[in-house]
Amino acid sequence: MNIRDAKTEIKNALLAYHRRDEEGHYKYPPVRQRPILLMGPPGIGKTAIMEQVAAECGVGLVAYTITHHTRQSAVGLPQIVSRTYGGKTVNVTEYTMSEIIASVYDCMERTGKQEGILFIDEINCVSETLAPTMLQFLQNKTFGTHRVPEGWMIVAAGNPREYNKSVREFDMVTLDRVRRIQVEPDCGVWMEYARERGISGAILSYLSMKEERFYQVESQFGEQRFVTARGWEDLSQLIQGYEELGLEVAPSLVVQFLQQEDTARDFAAYYRIYRRYGEDYQIPELLWGRMSETARAARISMGREASFEERFTVAELLLDTLDGKFREYEFQDRLLVRLHGALQALKKELLSEEEESPEDADRADSCMEKQIGERKDSLKVKLQKELIDGREARLEEQVIRMLEQYRLVLREEHVRGGKEGFARIRKLFGQELSRREELVSLIGQGLGRAFAFVQDCFGEDQEMLLLVSGLARNPRSADYIARHGCPDFLRYSKMLTNVTPRESLRSACREALRERRED
């Protein structure tokens, strides 16, 4: 199955294992809660889905790559203790708590989460001395003499033998005690994840046309050459950083991440073309109304004479540029919802019916100082206890900064009373709403210009289908269109009904590209 389906299986298992009865006992007996064994090629996102499941289910996560451990760190160190048996005291050997089990308890204490996932990666690549411990771990859920705490589901991951020469096969006794899930690379599923994560538009565009280059593993002259999902994601991070700094993305850089030279050279060449087309067509200027009619006419003429690959890339550039604004809109919308909630709480304090005493003359400032302090303290605790992810943390940090700005305005304008303070804050928030409406309008006009440009350049052909399907598939653009409408989208989306259920739009485009190249 693909990584998305594997994630669903793990999430469902976690929910099933954590069901409790009226007395608070687990309905699913822990002894029957089989560990999940993910088997699949390296770099396809096995660790990433563990983080996603833990975050979505609100449980803890402890992750280890077991090949980095010795038998002592996994099992614990021996120690001599005294025991009395039949009235006779003897010395016996016991083991200290395993570092891995101790990490689970540390996580529980640090986060307050009593349930979670213990993820062990590369479990079938351990040393010979550690192999029996791993079998015991899968069969009995123990490291040495210490058991994994109840409420913690075990997920292990391994690579098939063709990807790692040090792989050890599990026997039937072990496999009969786990839930084995075979995971295979799936470019389409990864692309959905990639769009959500903001992967470079050049990579998304390239893989849309050349899906066969998404995941490759081969041996040449005894050396492995490979391209993985992890490689594409890490390359994207560096590309975006290089672009911000104005640095060149050279083939020698790409091959450090895509360790298959033919694919690395091919993508490096495409990236150069992608950037050149972006400069030639000046997509931001075109979409956001900064291009003259003369310049637009020149781009239309250029597009009409373009090759199929160039036309395809232009459609992807339009989608990538629009998505930047959709991301901005999504963040701003969530920010204003959260800020509104904060101001509603502040309103109760500022408009309190209690008579303001002389000591409370600075109610506006004191109330804002109190709420800002409380939100800062709350965010600090959530970060320490891993109760909030990076995106949510950035959102909350922005809310705090805006509250601090509002407080500064009140102080600069000598606003002291609660009622006067709330009236001023309401006006400031109104300005934020106006800026949001300006963004909504800008995006709406950009969508209209995108459809008009594609229509004028290419007509109602594959490029229009790419634009429509790209907007429909992107959750951010779909949300915007559902809330604010887009007549052009509704008009052209009827074209999607002409695509048969078994036919992938992008597969059709790739096939057309191959045919035109052959001609």
For residues 458 and 311, give the distance between their C-alpha atoms in angstroms, rounded to a whole number.
8
Of the ranges 134-143, 327-336, 496-505, the best mean pLDDT one: 327-336
| pLDDT given at position 192 | 86
- Residue type present at position 509: C
At residue 85, φ and ψ (nearest 5 deg) are -125, 120
Task: Give the C-alpha distances (Å, rounded to integers) separating 374 from 54, 228, 370, 380, 403.
Answer: 27, 44, 6, 10, 12
* pLDDT beyond 80 at 70: no
- Residue type present at position 129: T
| pLDDT given at position 166 | 66
| pLDDT given at position 505 | 46
Contacts of 274 (CB under 8 A, 6+ apart): 201, 202, 205, 206, 313, 316, 317
Q: Per residue in 249-301, pLDDT tens? A: 999 999 999 999 999 999 999 999 999 999 999 999 999 999 999 999 999 99
| pLDDT given at position 351 | 82
Instruction: Give percent of the chain with pLDDT exceeding 70.
Output: 88
CB 18 within 8 A of CB 115: yes
For residues 39 and 395, give the distance between their C-alpha atoms in angstroms, rounded to a whole number.
36
**DSSP-derived pairing of the beta strands 36-39 and 60-65:** unpaired
Q: Which two tokens stand for residue 285?
A: 């200027």
| pLDDT given at position 409 | 94
79: enclosing H helix or E strand = strand 78-85
For residues 263 and 220, give the distance between their C-alpha atoms in angstroms, rounded to a whole number.
14
> pTM of the predicted model, to two decimals?
0.79
Angle at 280 between CA 278 and CA 283, to 5 degrees: 50
* pLDDT beyond 80 at 201: yes
Q: Tell me 413's DSSP state.
A: T
pLDDT bucket at 504, cuts 50 / 70 / 90? very low
CB 67 within 8 A of CB 126: yes
Question: First vs last Cα of the chain: how many Å apart?
Answer: 37
| pLDDT given at position 28 | 84
CB 469 within 8 A of CB 505: yes
| pLDDT given at position 69 | 63
| pLDDT given at position 221 | 62
Q: Tell me 270's DSSP state.
A: H
For residues 329 and 326, give the distance between their C-alpha atoms in angstroms, rounded to a whole number.
5
Q: Per residue in 401-446, pLDDT tens? A: 999 999 999 999 998 888 888 999 999 999 999 999 999 999 999 9
- Please state the rounded mean pLDDT for residues 440-469: 93
| pLDDT given at position 249 | 92
At residue 361, φ and ψ (nearest 5 deg) are -65, -30
Using DSSP, state whether 143 is helix, strand or coil: strand
Per the rule left: phi > 0, alpha: psi between -120 and 50, beta: everything else, 371 is alpha
For residues 48 and 157, give the distance between their C-alpha atoms in angstroms, rounded to a whole number.
12
Residue for token digits 């640095």?
Answer: 247
For residue 13, the number of C-alpha atoms closer than 13 Å in the C-beta half-sphere is 26
pLDDT bucket at 511, cuts 50 / 70 / 90? low
Residue for token digits 């604004």?
Answer: 325
Q: In the sheet that 152-158 helps form, which strands lie side by side, from edge to edge?
A: 60-65, 116-121, 152-158, 36-39, 179-182
Q: Per residue in 161-190, pLDDT tens? A: 766 666 677 778 777 788 899 988 999 889
- Please state the rounded mean pLDDT for residues 369-390: 87
Least confidently predicted of 158-162, 240-244, 265-269, 355-359: 355-359
pLDDT bucket at 357, cuts 50 / 70 / 90? low
* pLDDT beyond 60 at 139: yes
For residues 356 and 275, give the distance between their C-alpha atoms in angstroms, rounded to a whole number.
62
Residue for token digits 């067509």?
Answer: 281
| pLDDT given at position 111 | 86
| pLDDT given at position 68 | 65
For residues 396 and 382, give the distance between their C-alpha atoms in angstroms, rounded to a whole number.
11
| pLDDT given at position 502 | 32
Using DSSP, state whether 117 is helix, strand or coil: strand
Q: Which residue has the higher pLDDT, 94 or 32?
A: 32
For residue 227, the number of C-alpha atoms closer than 13 Å in the C-beta half-sphere is 22
- Please state the rounded mean pLDDT for residues 141-151: 82
Q: Per residue in 72-108, pLDDT tens? A: 666 667 778 888 888 888 887 766 667 888 888 998 9
Of 475, 410, 487, nearest to 192 by C-alpha is 475
- Please state the rounded mean pLDDT for residues 513-518: 50
